[in-house]
Structure 1
Amino acid sequence: MIGHGFMGAAHSVGWRQAPAAFDLPLAPQMSVLVGRDADKTASAARKWGWAETSTDWRAVIERDDIDLVDIVTPGESHAEIAIAALAAGKHVLCEKPLANSVAEAEAMAQAAAEAAERGVRAMVGFTYRRVPAVTLMRDMIAAGRIGSIRQVRASYRQDWLADAESPMTWRLDKDRAGSGALGDIGAHAIDMAQFVTGQDVTSVSGVLETLVKERPLMGESVGLGGTAGAGRGRVTVDDVAIFTGRLDSGALASFEATRFATGRKNALDIEISGDAGALHWNLEDMNVLEFYDATADTATQGFTRVLVTEPEHPYLSGWWPSGHMLGYEHGFSHQVKDLVEAVASGTDPHPGFAEGLLVQRVLDAVARSAAGGSAWTDV
């Protein structure tokens, strides 16, 4: 695994737990953790169970004993590392968004397509697809339970930047992160909408806003957008993204991504309205899927609260007895399960880099629309 920190911890839990929860056809071995700071990388490796460490990712991907590379670095390095790893014959798992630009994502998707011809697989880490309730939503829509889709509402709201004096981080620097709320969390809303509906976003109209233009420079943030001797750095990404989209079928979709939604800690929310019903899910109540059957008796009609903890629900057979909840970390185990099974069977995992590129193109279209006065912009 190249990179660590918050997302590295989540991925590490996935690699550790998946072999215990599921009967995997291959046995993952957590061999090497790579980071820029030797001491911090060694500490993370001890905490999360990696056998050894390195500060040279190029040397690691050339090793014969490494079969798969997991990339959890900031977006600025995704393309370089992923393309090099695929060229070296390594399977790749890369965190979302796939890249910082469409050009980088196109190069990664091309590299993945060429690698697939050699039996090398690539996946992008849109982990929320693998929350059992979300996968169940996808399955129910595909089975026609809500009929033809008319409207999609998707939002991802957080408040961790609501304090204007919160310090600069790499996520607020466009050169490193690519974009702000749009790419960081809006990418999840876009991918989820496309995943559960089975449709692509074809055009968008949006606005982007940076609410706090400067933030304090502290610790590792001193190199982010500041000048010598200055105490504040310039925020170069969006804080809020709000946009409308149109799907393949012509259905309308509304999207919001913000890190200024005071009181909302991690509210990824999606509702799909069809001519025969509706489905709703929110990450802050992640084990529950709400289903409205428009064909039911009007005397008892209403949203039904489905507790997605039964063995017949997606992924649940590997976990706890009925009614016992799953958490944020379980999606990463499900990601490992699906990736390892795809590698073992010689099939392409989903979402692949081509699907990551589709999301990148939507992000780019939103940015172009916002720059052009919110004009409708083709993806």
Structure 2
Amino acid sequence: MAKQLNIGIVGYKFMGRAHSNAWKKAPLFFDVPSQPVLKVACGRHQASLQEFAQKWGWEETETDWKKMIARPDIDIVDVALPQNLHYEVAMAAARAGKHIFCEKPLAMNSRQAEEMLRVCEENHVTHYLNHNYRRLPAVLLAKKMIETGKLGRLFHWRCAYQQDWIVDPNFPLTWQLRKETAQAGPQWDLNSHAVDLAHFLIGDIDTVSALTTNFVTERPLADESTSGNLTAETLGDQKGPVTVEDAALMLVQFQNGAVGSFEATRFATGKKNGLTFEIYGSKGSVKFDLERMNELQYYSLNDEAGEQGFRTIQATDPTHAYMQGWWPPGHIIGYEHTFVHAVVDFLWAIDGNKPIEPNFSDGLRILTVLEAGLESAATGQRVKLN
């Protein structure tokens, strides 16, 4: 029987559910070196926390995360919280020698990220940052094509992450719309995913030019007990200022000479979670759409003249990353499976005492780019990264 690793999760709403499902499913579909045990669920509101724990199979509950981290029987701390709470929880977990599975974006700023990385390294804990889209088979196919030279020299990266959940001006002022709890708007939340994919597929970014804007400047105050969800309720007629941007656009130059664009917005009417990227090279191109996440579009200049065109590759065959653990060819997987893949890789990283990517070092690199974008938008100047 595999050894056990006890997990303590902090946070039990959207990401708490996604993470719980992944911890439960990983050993059912994949070979893992350790059996994850859902030991303790931690949150502020005991009644809803207890309901969550019973539903997902967490053995115990705790309303004080410091007590949970201090327990000697907790091996892994799962940080499924808003980003303003990542720093304090992750720092305490690292100092206690706990391995850390953390949601994105990593922190509120690069200074926090630097310290989080340093303390994790000093205490020799495995640290993982959950940019889960890296673990889509179609994205990994694009990575393989780039590494094997199928696209040739890379020229262009074009990425858009578009949602529409705050188009209604009466949508309440949830934590995602306040600087003190979110740091920034889609530049932080959505472009963190986009920049991670760009780093993964294209390389490091050299310069950034950006603009941001607001379409709605004040909103009804939110009921904090429901503001972790996109169906949050208002407290009445009282309103407060929106202190983060509604949309952000960046133009970048990569260190390898490629150029790129990023669009992140919560005002793309009709787009629920539309993440797309396009990569154009000297020998071919690829296109990806999260809303068709099992597919990769591929164009090759090596095809015969008159037969060239974008073809659809279904990344569902067992030859594609992770698919050997799931269903027969042609049977698609979904959003939740990326979390399972992350858990599997995380458990193997702990077992082998090896790093996993993306980690807090990657998170720091991402935040450096996002901060440069906000600086550029504020000053109107192009920013060169150190």
- State the TM-score, normalizing by the size of structure 2: 0.94
Does the aligned pair in 1 maintain the 2:170–2:220 contact within 8 Å? yes
The residue aligned with 1:184 is 189
Is 1:216 paired with 2:220?
Answer: yes
Matches within 5 A, 1:238-277: 238-277=245-284
Does the aligned pair in 2 maintain the 1:286–1:327 contact within 8 Å? yes
The structure 1 residue matched to 2:333, chosen from 326, 334, 338, is 326
Is 1:153 paired with 2:158?
Answer: yes
Q: CA deviation at 1:352?
A: 1.2
Q: CA deviation at 1:219?
A: 2.0
Q: CA deviation at 1:222?
A: 10
Q: CA-atom RMSD, angstroms?
A: 1.6
The residue aligned with 2:108 is 100
Does the aligned pair in 1 maintain the 2:284–2:299 contact within 8 Å? yes
Equivalent-residue separation in structure 2 for 1:262 and 1:149 (angstroms): 32
Q: CA deviation at 1:287?
A: 0.4
Does the aligned pair in 2 maintain the 1:170–1:221 contact within 8 Å? no
Equivalent-residue separation in structure 2 for 1:68 and 1:223 (angstroms): 27
The residue aligned with 1:170 is 175
Does the aligned pair in 2 maintain the 1:167–1:221 contact within 8 Å? no
- AA aligned to 2:208 is V
Is 1:280 paired with 2:284?
Answer: no
The residue aligned with 1:54 is 62
Does the aligned pair in 2 maintain the 1:213–1:235 contact within 8 Å? yes
Alignment partner of 2:123: what SS? Answer: helix
Is 1:194 paired with 2:199?
Answer: yes
Equivalent-residue separation in structure 2 for 1:308 and 1:193 (angstroms): 20
The residue aligned with 1:378 is 384
Identity of aligned residues (%): 43
* Residue-by-residue CA offset, 1:201-251 (whole Å, 9 max, x unaligned): 121000011211111124228999xxx996111111111000101111111
Alignment partner of 1:28: what SS? Answer: strand
The structure 2 residue matched to 1:45, chosen from 50, 53, 57, is 53
Does the aligned pair in 2 maintain the 1:169–1:221 contact within 8 Å? no
Matches within 5 A, 1:336-351: 336-351=343-358
Q: CA deviation at 1:143?
A: 1.1
Equivalent-residue separation in structure 2 for 1:229 and 1:146 (angstroms): 54
Does the aligned pair in 2 maintain the 1:75–1:100 contact within 8 Å? yes
Against the structure 1 CA distance between its residues 221 and 174, is the aligned structure 2 distance closer, same or farther, given a 3 Å change threshold? farther
The residue aligned with 2:43 is 35
Against the structure 1 CA distance between its residues 221 and 70, is the aligned structure 2 distance closer, same or farther, given a 3 Å change threshold? closer
Q: CA deviation at 1:282?
A: 0.6
Equivalent-residue separation in structure 2 for 1:68 and 1:84 (angstroms): 12
- AA aligned to 2:217 is K
- AA aligned to 1:205 is S
Equivalent-residue separation in structure 1 for 2:275 and 2:170 (angstroms): 25
Does the aligned pair in 2 maintain the 1:122–1:349 contact within 8 Å? yes
* Residue-by-residue CA offset, 1:58-98 (whole Å, 9 max, x unaligned): 11111111100010111111111111101101000111010
The residue aligned with 2:74 is 66
Matches within 5 A, 1:232-243: 232-243=239-250
- Which 4+ stretches in 1 moved above 2 angstroms? 221-224
* Residue-by-residue CA offset, 1:336-358 (whole Å, 9 max, x unaligned): 01100100111011111001100
Unaligned runs of 5+ in 1: none
The residue aligned with 1:109 is 117
Equivalent-residue separation in structure 2 for 1:82 and 1:9 (angstroms): 19
Does the aligned pair in 2 maintain the 1:309–1:323 contact within 8 Å? yes
Alignment partner of 2:224: what SS? Answer: helix
Q: CA deviation at 1:295?
A: 2.0
Does the aligned pair in 2 maintain the 1:193–1:270 contact within 8 Å? no
Does the aligned pair in 1 maintain the 2:192–2:366 contact within 8 Å? yes
Does the aligned pair in 2 maintain the 1:168–1:221 contact within 8 Å? no
Equivalent-residue separation in structure 2 for 1:13 and 1:158 (angstroms): 24
Does the aligned pair in 2 maintain the 1:156–1:258 contact within 8 Å? yes
* Residue-by-residue CA offset, 1:172-218 (whole Å, 9 max, x unaligned): 11111111111111111110111122x11121000011211111124
Q: CA deviation at 1:290?
A: 0.6
- State the TM-score, normalizing by the size of structure 1: 0.95
Against the structure 1 CA distance between its residues 44 and 245, is the aligned structure 2 distance closer, same or farther, given a 3 Å change threshold? same
Does the aligned pair in 1 maintain the 2:162–2:274 contact within 8 Å? yes
Does the aligned pair in 2 maintain the 1:287–1:308 contact within 8 Å? yes
Alignment partner of 1:339: what SS? Answer: helix
Does the aligned pair in 1 maintain the 2:53–2:61 contact within 8 Å? yes
The structure 2 residue matched to 1:138, chosen from 134, 143, 146, is 143
Does the aligned pair in 2 maintain the 1:157–1:265 contact within 8 Å? yes
